[in-house]
Amino acid sequence: LLQRRAVRACGCVLAVTASLADHLGTTRARVLRDGFRASRFERGTTGADPRARLTDDPAAVIVGYVGRLTTLGMAKGLPALVDAFARLRDPRLHLCVVGGPADEARVLGARWRSLGLPSGHLHLAGEVPPADVPSWLTAFDVCAMPFPRTPHFSYDASPLKLF
């Protein structure tokens, strides 16, 4: 009810996906997709190799995730990613999770340990300032976005980290 009233009161409403614009039920909704500042990623890394903070193994394959671990009370798929690591049991694989909240990261760490995965291969970096995100991304060989298949993630979410 509040959303409908707010939409009627506005001259134009901006949504980040077409699905969200459609849900608003007004012809005044426009889609303005997410984006990023390319300049943040042009600097390259300075100082130490970002991978060095994770492992000194040159054969390591670092799979990384950056972002919140939950949204709207739903897990973003990290437990499924941990389960995939357990099925693969590849000694070269490392998982680095940059984000929070911290209590969800602790749950993820407990799941990792319960599956008998090597403790030195899970790196829970916690929440970092946005300015540090490019450095973390350069440390990863693979960037993972294991979102669950739900209407929210399929149609309404805008995966800014992908951009």
Q: 26-39: per-residue pLDDT in tens?
A: 888 889 887 777 88
In degrees, rounded to 5, the angle at the alpha carbon of residue 127 between the alpha carbons of residues 122 and 128 is 105
pLDDT band at 15 (very low <50, low <70, confident <90, very high): confident
pLDDT at 69: 93
Q: For residue range 93-130, what is the model confidence (pLDDT) as tens digits?
A: 999 999 999 999 999 999 999 999 999 999 999 999 98
Determine if the peptide bond prior to 101 is cis (ω within 30°): yes
pLDDT confidence of residue 87: 97
Predicted confidence (pLDDT) at residue 47 exceeds the cutoff of 60: no
